[in-house]
Amino acid sequence: MQPNVNVVSLVSIGRHPQSGRSRRAEQDGRAVELGLSLVGEALTVVHVGEDQDPVLRQYAGMGLPSMTVLSQGKECDALPVLTSFLKAQLPSVVLTGVRSESGESSGMLPYLLAEALGWPLVPRVAEILHIKDGQAEVLLALPRGQRRSVQVTLPFIASVDNAAQEARQTAFGPGLRATLHVETVDSVVDDAAIQWEMSAAKPRPKRLKVVKAKTAADRMKAATAKPVGGGGKIMKNETPAEKAQAIFDLLLEEKVVR
């Protein structure tokens, strides 16, 4: 632990993908987890939004003695409020999720904060290895479990990837007893967003393999081809070498063997 580093984790209200109910957001939970592993209870956890939301108790239940809520309405822009809060606090590390689970989900917040504060930003962090002499060594999550090591100068902003340590379980009792420091702030309504039309997501059609049939033979083939994904292929009587070759071809086709 690095008790003398000032770390702030930003949290938002998540959304369960199946039920659509509010919950502790996956990545924000990981941001709190990462913060706790860095500085323990010295971590500052900040939420911008409504102070009555029960989800805040789920974050607090991770063992936070207190949380800060910059209280403002749903339709307000979190950026100006957070910028002035962070300018006043001057933390060394600010942790956020990559994308929020509710609202626009643009993932722009860490970038805009970094821009406003003039700090470097490391995206998709899997782990912060250590913080020493004003420098942090950070592992970025790359696809397929790969990692990249980056050294970054404090203060910085990091967005926390799903590959980071999973958020610890939230406990009911401590969550209930944690104190919420509610600060009322001058908030700015997000005008642009008000113009938008929001609707339930339409399912996107899966792209079909469009065969640009230029010959009759082509059209015939396209019409009679076995549909993709309709039940699997079973190989029984071929030789082991043929069977293995079929598997290997599939591995190549899926590009998992290179």
Count residues binding another protein (CB under 8 A). 95
Which residues in 165-204 contact another protein (CB under 8 A)?
A: 168-174, 176-177, 192, 195-202, 204
Long-range residue pairs from 133-139, CB within 8 A, at least 24 positions apart, any chain: 136/93
Give the residue with the Cβ less far from another protein, 184 or 189: 189
Cβ-Cβ contacts under 8 Å for 165 (sequence gap 6 or more): 30, 33, 34, 37, 127
Of 1-9, 19-27, 83-91, 179-187, which part binds another protein (CB under 8 A)?
Answer: 19-27
Helix or strand run (H / E) with residue 95: strand 93-97
Q: Should residue 80 be labelled a site residue for another protein when binding is judged by CB under 8 A? A: no
Which residues in 22-41 contact another protein (CB under 8 A)?
A: 23-24
The 10 Å CB-count burial string (b at 16+, else e) for 129-165 is: eebeeeebebbbbeeeeeeeebebebbbbbbbbebbe
Which residues in 227-256 contact another protein (CB under 8 A)?
A: 229, 232-236, 240-241, 243-248, 250-251, 254, 256
Which pairing describes strands 76-77 and 188-189: parallel, antiparallel, or unpaired?
A: antiparallel
Taken as a whole, the chain contains a residue count of: 258
Give the residue with the Cβ less far from another protein, 63 or 80: 63
Name which of 42, 44, 31 is nearest 180 in CA terms: 44
Q: Should residue 66 be labelled a site residue for another protein when binding is judged by CB under 8 A? A: no
Which residues in 116-175 contact another protein (CB under 8 A)?
A: 120-124, 137, 139-140, 142-153, 156, 163, 168-174
Tell me how far, at minimum, the Cβ of 100 lies from another protein, in Å. 8
Q: Should residue 78 be labelled a site residue for another protein when binding is judged by CB under 8 A? A: no
Tell me how far, at minimum, the Cβ of 143 lies from another protein, in Å. 6
